[in-house]
Amino acid sequence: MPVISFANAKGGAGKTTAALLLATEVAARGKRVTIFDADPQKWISKWYDLPNQCDGISVISEISPASITEQITYAAEESDYVIVDLEGTENLVVANALSVSDLVVVPIQGSSMDARGGAKILSLIKKLEKIVRHDIKHCVVLTRSNAAVTTRAMKAVQDFLSAQNIDVLMTPIVERAAFRDLFEFGGGLDDLNPKVVSGVAKAKENASLYAAELLERAIRIPKKRWYNVFKRAS
């Protein structure tokens, strides 16, 4: 029942791809996953409407600032994992979702704009921790990286994160055609035809390592006080 939210105050950081890859990898392991699609572009909802669907995944797209905490709480009772794809901005939906998350993942590309967007979310987490009076575990995943070379911009982002003692996944999400094609064909990576989509095998290896790192962090997370409060209130 871990609740894992994906957030970056800048759009286009690879947030939706990171959320979908985790969801499909978890579902492939036989787990039940509920995805909250809080991104105005609704890419995950559009993916969910495609003919190929992953067993074990349900998507909720009707979300409001007033309802999202309660929706997440109930979904956490029914699902093995709850994954929240948040809007690329700072608003009440984002704040409410972060406050009831067991793990917040901040996707960041190798650019100063992405790093600044990620820094806004990290700052928001610190403010929310004071309000909810418990730590909100978080980490960064580097996205759309080049498998062959680390650019100067990416190196600058890595140095910035390291100086801030921010937890960064060892496995970045590499720029792969297969990841983009999930939104074209639907389903998971196992459903893609290697004869039509290039680099499926390497994409599957990357996604598996990335998901394993996140799940290892999620397993260590104890049940939060907010869960017990909402459960008693219901």
Give the pLDDT confidence of 133-188 residue by residue, as tens digits: 888 888 888 887 766 556 666 666 666 666 667 788 888 899 899 999 999 999 99
Helix (H, G, I), strand (E, B) or coil at 82: strand
Domains of the chain, by residue range, sit at 3-226
Please name which of 65, 20, 70 lies closest in space to residue 42, comparing C-alpha atoms: 20
**What is d(CA 226, CA 75) in angstroms, rounded to the nearest whole number?**
14
**What is d(CA 13, CA 29) in angstroms, rounded to the nearest whole number?**
26
Q: Given this model, what pLDDT does residue 232 score?
A: 43
- CATH number at 3-226: 3.40.50.300
Q: Given this model, what pLDDT does residue 108 score?
A: 84
Q: Given this model, what pLDDT does residue 120 score?
A: 80
Q: Given this model, what pLDDT does residue 112 score?
A: 64
**What is d(CA 13, CA 39) in angstroms, rounded to the nearest whole number?**
13
Structure tokens at 176: 């792969």
Q: Given this model, what pLDDT does residue 214 score?
A: 92
Strands 138-142 and 103-108, sheet pairing: parallel
Residue 219 has pLDDT above 80, yes or no: no
